[in-house]
Structure 1
Amino acid sequence: MIGNLSKVDQRLKAYVCVPDKRFEVKSGLSPQEEAVKQRVRQYWADESIPDVKKLQGLNIDLRGFDPRHTTVKELRSLGVMLADLGLIDNDLIGAVSSINVEFDSQGNEIETNETVDAYAFIQKNLDFLKKHISSGNDYAKSALVDLNTATSVLMALERFGNAPKIPSLVNIRV
């Protein structure tokens, strides 16, 4: 499988669901790979699974994480960590971390440390995509699915960061 899809597939083996056409994406990959992409998007939209379970294995301190006041650099780091754990695929890294990215004349990213409002950016792009979907644009439909999933991921990260921390049963001191 391309990219980290085999890791995502392995991570979501226990997630059994009836495939929902709303989460289909047209990526040009094999049917098996597209099924994995569909399943990961459906997984993030599944409200019956708690965020803590979805983010199981993410062992970083996200206290105070706010997608309304973050940076592209922080979002990219989070996206790469989530992909390394098999929680999102490589396309979702882009959807989560390409918020308000600007480029110089040579095509290099600039101002990756500037504060961005990820939710406002996503909302603006959702409105833009909805206009193009009405004209039958398949790419816009796939991008809409990715942006909706990116929103679910960001909301889960925000809730995860704001959840009260449960003290560990083991206290090891050196």
Structure 2
Amino acid sequence: MIGNLSKVQERLRVYAPAPDKRFNVKSGLSPNEEAVKQKVRQYWADKDIPNVKKLQGLNISLAGFDPRKTSNRQLMEIGVILAERGIIDGDLIGAISSVDVQFDAQGIEINMDAQVDAYAYFEKQLGMLNDFIKEGNEMAKGALVELKTSISIVMALEEYAKTPRQRGLVSIRA
């Protein structure tokens, strides 16, 4: 499997909902790989699973993380950690960390540390994509799935950052 899809597949092996065509992914990958990508997007949209559960195993401090005052670099770093743990696939790293990205003349990302409001950007993108879908643009439907998944992930990260961490060590004092 390409990238981290095998990790994602392993992590979601017990998640077995009926596949929902709304989450179909046309990525040019093998049918098995596309099924994994579809499953992770459906997983993130599943309201029956608490966000904290979706981020189980993350075990990093996100103290102070605020999607309204973040940077693309911070979102990318968090996305890489999520992908390394099999929580998201590699394509979603770019989807959550491309908030008003700017490029120089050589195509290199600039202003990666500039403060951005992820929610304001997502809201603007939702409006644009819905307009494109109304015009019959089929590509916009796939982009909408990615965007909604990104929103779910960022909302879960914000909730995770605000949730007090449980201490993991056991006191063995007598």
TM (norm. structure 2) is 0.94
- Report the counterpart of residue 38 of structure 1 in structure 2: 38
Distance across 1 between alignment mates of 2:81 and 2:56: 12
- Report the counterpart of residue 135 of structure 2 in structure 1: 135
Give ranges in structure 2 of 5+ residues lacking alignment. Answer: none
Q: What amino acid is the match of 2:151?
A: T
Distance across 2 between alignment mates of 1:60 and 1:107: 32
List 4+ stretches of structure 1 deviating above 4 A: none
- Report the counterpart of residue 63 of structure 2 in structure 1: 63
Distance across 1 between alignment mates of 2:73 and 2:114: 9
Partner-residue secondary structure (3-state), 2:36: helix
How far did 1:65 drift? 1.0
- Report the counterpart of residue 99 of structure 2 in structure 1: 99
Contact preservation (8 Å) 1:26, 1:139: no
Distance across 1 between alignment mates of 2:140 and 2:60: 34
The 5-angstrom pairing of residues 1-174 of structure 1 reads 1-168=1-168, 170-171=170-171
Contact preservation (8 Å) 1:126, 1:144: yes
Distance across 2 between alignment mates of 1:8 and 1:139: 24
- Note the aligned Cα RMSD (angstroms): 1.4
**1:40-63 Cα distance to aligned partner (Å, 9 max, x none):** 001011111112211111111112
Q: Which moved more, 1:80-89 or 1:23-32?
A: 23-32
Q: Which moved more, 1:144-153 or 1:98-107?
A: 98-107
**% same residue:** 60
Distance across 1 between alignment mates of 2:47 and 2:165: 22
How far did 1:137 drift? 2.0
How far did 1:135 drift? 2.6
How far did 1:100 drift? 1.2
Aligned residues: 172
